[in-house]
Amino acid sequence: MAATPTYRIPLGFPAPDFYLPEPRTGAFLRFQDVRGDRGTVVVFMCNHCPYVLHILDALLETAALFKGQGIGFVGISSNDVTGYPEDAPEKMAALATAKNFPFPYLYDESQAVAKAYFAACTPDFSVFDARNFCVYRGQFDSSRPKNDIPVTGADLKAVLNALIEGKPVPAEQAPSIGCNIKWKPGSEPYYF
């Protein structure tokens, strides 16, 4: 597994809109449909990445915990499914159903949304405040496959608690690390 960090960009940018299908329901959703009144988590993820699978259950628990506190969540898969068929929409729907995802899991076939969010890896987190400006681009926590650190979601939870309490988001933000997004041949974004 290739270890790729979140791409570092200045915070404060507005959440790029999207219009993407959710394979589980067949609905098409925009950012406005998934945003929370107090903040929104956009996580680029996929079915097969060991880094995602390592935190998946804790991520789902975290999303369920904060959902009732005004925090919206959305998962987006942008991987090239030709080379990675385990990330195909029907497999996304199956995983979301089997794990009872408490948030929409959308498919970014064109990979344009991943590029708009400067996504680099899976999982790749961006958190937006109540005004839809980015306040966090970092890790779920310090746990990684094989490093023996427990999965807690501590970093993301600290950010979400700050948003709920109206406090500043922690300035120190360790990048997420995961598998690189599987770009279609010749479509790698310019920021790499």
Q: Is residue 184 in some structural domain? A: no
Would the pLDDT of 3 be above 90? no
> pTM of the entire structure?
0.96
For the segment 32-41, the average pLDDT, to the nearest whole number, is 98
Q: Is residue 183 in some structural domain? A: no
Domain that holds residue 89: 4-175
Q: What CATH number should be reported for the domain holding residue 86?
A: 3.40.30.10
Q: Is residue 190 in some structural domain? A: no
37-57 pLDDT tens trace: 999 999 999 999 999 999 999
Q: Is residue 136 in some structural domain? A: yes
When divided into structural domains, the chain yields a total of 1
Greatest distance between any 2 Cα atoms in the chain: 44
Q: Is residue 96 in some structural domain? A: yes
- Three-class HEC string of 95-148: HHHHCCCCCCEEECCCCHHHHHCCCCEECEEEEEECCCEEEECCCCCCCCCCCC
For the segment 124-141, the average pLDDT, to the nearest whole number, is 98
- At 192 the pLDDT is 59
Would the pLDDT of 153 be above 90? yes
For the chain, what is the mean pLDDT?
Answer: 95
**By percentage, how much of the chain surpasses pLDDT 70?**
98
Would the pLDDT of 149 be above 80? yes
Among the listed residues 138, 147, 140, 143, the one whose alpha carbon sits nearest the alpha carbon of residue 175: 138
Would the pLDDT of 12 be above 80? yes
Q: Is residue 192 in some structural domain? A: no
Task: Kindly give the pairing relationship between strand 124-129 and strand 134-136.
Answer: antiparallel
Q: Is residue 180 in some structural domain? A: no
Q: Is residue 191 in some structural domain? A: no
- At 2 the pLDDT is 66
